[in-house]
Structure 1
Amino acid sequence: MRIIGVVAGATLALGTSSVLAGDTFKSGNELHEQCQDHTSPAATIYVMGVWDAYSALEELEGFETGICPPKGVSMGQMEDIVCTWLLQHPEDRHHAASSLALNALHQSFPCAN
């Protein structure tokens, strides 16, 4: 249940009011298409923007991000994680790309409790 709270909070912070793709800037389907286009940096730039916005939340008092990548993780690795997750979960790609990206990163890099 905590992941839902983390993703919901991040989704709201990123300016989306719903996790339904119809109400968001970009759907998981659109990001998946960008992941498949290896000639374009669009997926990398999107994941970078999602991570940058989410990381800024760490500055808020009392906000726990729930995503703790180890030192040295590259943006390329984060993109690979998100793109692989989208490939493996086609049933969820109609949801907001930002929520799906954060969910993939949370599953890969949960914070130690």
Structure 2
Amino acid sequence: MRTKRGTPTGRPPCTWTSAGQAAAVTWSRSKGTLDLHTARRLADTLQSLLLVEGHSVLLDLSGVTFLDSSGLTCLIAAYRTAGTTGARLALIAPSQPVRRMLALTGVDQVLHSCPAPEAVSDWPTG
């Protein structure tokens, strides 16, 4: 687990855990803030996971308490990488602050989001 301690904003930092890989699927959980101070690390992690064709990444955002434009850019870049490499990305149980930001920007119409991991089996292909 990677953790950054404290951010200049005073909000809890974003932490994430990559918990296991089974049959080309990686489950990753993010908690805290996903902002200018933390987005780069998550982006680096997601990019390396999504560079494998056919790989699926499930990103649990239920514990994210704050999402700014840097965090949003991180998610969009991961989506683009997945589209380019043939990997898949699904946002799992986005928290209210994340859902609000995705809706305000229209990104909720592009990024695949599921209320729970069990719902991923019905995500669209291609």
The TM-score, its normalising length taken from structure 1, stands at 0.31
Q: Under a length normalisation based on structure 2, what TM-score does the superposition of the two structures give?
A: 0.29
Specify which structure has the higher proportion of helix.
Answer: 1
